[in-house]
A and B are shown apart, each in its own frame.
Chain A
Amino acid sequence: MMVVVQNMSLQSGTNYRLRDISATFESGKHHIIVGPNGAGKSSLLQVIAGSIPPSSGNVYLNEQDINNLSVEKIAIQRAILSQQIHIAFPMKVLDIIHMGRYPHKNSEVIDHENLIDQIIQSLQIQSLQHRWYQSLSGGEAQKVQLARVLVQLNAAESPDQKLLLLDEPVSHLDPQYQQEIMRQAQQLVERGVTVISVLHDIYLALQFADQLYFMKNNRLLYTQSLKEQLLPELIEKVFEVQVEIGVHPITKRPFIIYL
């Protein structure tokens, strides 16, 4: 899905939460937004998700103005993985994965049983599906939430029309789970899904991004394609730390070292 943000601002009272943001998120790429705490990364994601209407400017999902789309309609084509979801009452893992069917509950076209089986297998969570959600570790729980989100996204069907948003999806998780979850997102990108992520971990961002977005003080400062040479000055300016950037000899991906 193509996402276009045009001169968009978000205000609460007289405070700007987002100020004059313009960006084009092309489909089939992993777009990663980085920036210091309070830069407005999550607010931007919330506006693109359709849960907060922009105060001015426009957001288009596949050329349709987001203000003209209902939450029901948006939920059919985009899904969001947030960080850590707490559930107050005991529930089973499989029932939580099934919640991804919600926006498609009246659809007779989708074979949900089959879709859910496939997703459980590709995430290798067969052994978890009959357990109580509350008994899972943080990493396991996040994989279950990812499964639910993938059921909602239903990327098997016209993946280039789909949008996946990741809002700090791997914070506080062990490296093993961070890699697993980000790699799943990468597979979707390869199938044509647009993925927009908010990360505060710049290592992970460099590992997975096709396009990097630097935010600071509620503004989008720079956009940088990772095909180009990444400039240390950018990171130094945004994060106010001294860094050196190298290129890994085998993966050819950039990595940073804090000086």
Chain B
Amino acid sequence: MANQMKPNSKHLFVGLCLLLMASIIAGAALGAIPIEGSDMYYGLRNGILHHEQGNIAQQVFFSLRFPRVLLSAITGGSLAVSGLIMQAITRNPIVEAGLTGTSAGAALGASLVFVFTPLLPGLVPLFSIHFLLPAMAFAGALAATLLVYKMSGVNGYVQATTLLLVGVAVNAMAFSGIGFLSYIARDPQARSITFWNLGGFSGANWLQVGISVMIAIAAVTYFTKKAFTLDVLQLGEKEAVYLGLSIRVTRRNLLLVNTLLVATLTAWCGVIAFVGLIIPHLMRKYTDGTHRPLIAYCFVGGAILMVLADLAARLVMAPAELPVGIVTAIIGAPIFILLIRKQLFY
């Protein structure tokens, strides 16, 4: 708690933003094919202006590498903010989308799309898969989140330990559903389910980036507008009601927006756990604990972590690549255990 650095330091925030830009450039430059600065510039210019295709490096940069790095940044930022919001609602530091059923529910919804759309060919032209996938992920995420939330509430008050335990159970249910789907699926679909459950950005494209940017901006703006409400929630639900906060409506809206955000991103890149846990924990040390700065810090911090994790996933076993979910879990799981120990013994 006692910290040398002044809370909400502008210098630190600017520093984080610069670090994010540096990470994005590094993420775009490094990989199976290294890309130079000039190729980035021409690749971007030709791509945007629909000019004739340049060399291989320029094409790789514009259609593969750059959207991938941007999607990983948006995803990391959004998952960190979403973890922060879940923690604010439950007043508990060991809660995030990967642990409360939200991500697993989204994964189940998306697996259904992978397995059943090939069986119903008429469906896909009607609803483009780019919208069907997030829509089903949202439905699954919402169902799982509501189930966890309703089951862990006593008289409308949610107990954090119960929430985590019910989350474990609902996660197990969702993953058994996913397991069943990949068992009955044909080989390519099964592979895409497996890969997707480990999380990764290799399928990133500009359409996904566009949709994610819109949803992320909308959600983060909404949360920032509700920053004071999130602060007041820290007094506990009873006190928040005394202050005139209508708790049911507030909690429902926050959960809905949060689920939409997590589900959309999970639909593209699969289940990536622990980012929503580590980043808010870290950023609380550098802010005054109010949610307006915290949301901004968490978004930038989460984006940096994810861009670097994705870079690591591409470089560790190059030219093959690791699913990024494995990288975040290796970093995140020990921190999660430390957090639980800290809660138990301090």
Main secondary structure of the interface of B (DSSP, over half): loop
Q: Interface with B: A31-39, A90-98, A222-230, which one?
A: A90-98
Binary per-residue interface labels of chain B (222-261) against chain A in the complex, 1 for a CB within 8 Å, 0 otherwise? 0000001101101110110111111000000000000000
Total contacting residues, chain B, CB less than 8 A? 26
Q: Which of A74, A85, A132 contacts B235 (CB 8 A)?
A: A85
Q: In the docked arrangement, what's the CA distance between A73 and B232, Å?
A: 17
Query: Within residues 47 to 91 of chain A, which ones have a CB less than 8 A from any CB in chain B?
Result: 49, 51, 70-76, 79-80, 82, 85-91
- The minimal Cβ–Cβ distance linking A110 to chain B, given in whole angstroms, is 14
Is residue B284 within 8 Å, beta carbon to beta carbon, of the partner chain?
yes
Contact in complex: A102, B288 (CB < 8 Å): no
Contact in complex: B241, A71 (CB < 8 Å): yes
Which residues of B lie under 8 Å from residue A27 when comparing CB positions? none
Q: In the docked arrangement, what's the CA distance between A181 and B167, Å?
A: 43
Contact in complex: A102, B1 (CB < 8 Å): no
Contact in complex: B289, A79 (CB < 8 Å): no
Contact in complex: B242, A95 (CB < 8 Å): no
Contact in complex: A102, B232 (CB < 8 Å): yes
Q: Which of B2, B229, B246, B289 contacts A91 (CB 8 A)?
A: B289
Contact in complex: A92, B1 (CB < 8 Å): no
Is residue B65 within 8 Å, beta carbon to beta carbon, of the partner chain?
no
Contact in complex: A72, B1 (CB < 8 Å): no
Contact of A88 with B91 at beta-carbon distance under 8 Å, contacts A95-B290, A134-B1 already known: yes
Q: In the docked arrangement, what's the CA distance between A236 and B246, Å?
A: 42
Contact in complex: A85, B289 (CB < 8 Å): no
Contact in complex: A82, B238 (CB < 8 Å): yes
Which residues of B lie under 8 Å from residue A51 when comparing CB positions? 238, 241-242
Contact in complex: B234, A71 (CB < 8 Å): no
Q: In the docked arrangement, what's the CA distance between A195 and B118, Å?
A: 69
Q: In the complex, which range does the number of interface residues on chain A fall in?
A: 20 to 34
Contact in complex: A87, B244 (CB < 8 Å): no
Which residues of A lie under 8 Å from residue B1 when comparing CB positions? 90, 132, 134-135
Query: Within residues 58 to 111 of chain B, which ones have a CB less than 8 A from any CB in chain A?
Result: 87, 91-93
Contact in complex: B234, A102 (CB < 8 Å): no
Binary per-residue interface labels of chain B (274-286) against chain A in the complex, 1 for a CB within 8 Å, 0 otherwise? 0000000000100
B interface vs A, CB < 8 Å?
Answer: 1-2, 7, 87, 91-93, 228-229, 231-232, 234-236, 238-239, 241-246, 284, 288-290
Provide a sorted-by-A list of 17 A–B residue pairs whose CB atoms are within 8 angstroms: A51-B238, A51-B241, A51-B242, A71-B245, A79-B242, A85-B236, A91-B288, A91-B290, A92-B288, A95-B290, A102-B232, A102-B244, A102-B245, A103-B243, A134-B1, A135-B1, A152-B243
Closest 7 CB pairs of A and B: A75-B244, A103-B244, A91-B289, A102-B243, A88-B91, A72-B244, A80-B242
List 10 additional contacts besides A71-B245, A82-B239, A89-B284; criterion CB under 8 Å.
Answer: A71-B244, A71-B246, A75-B242, A89-B87, A91-B290, A99-B232, A102-B229, A102-B245, A134-B1, A152-B243
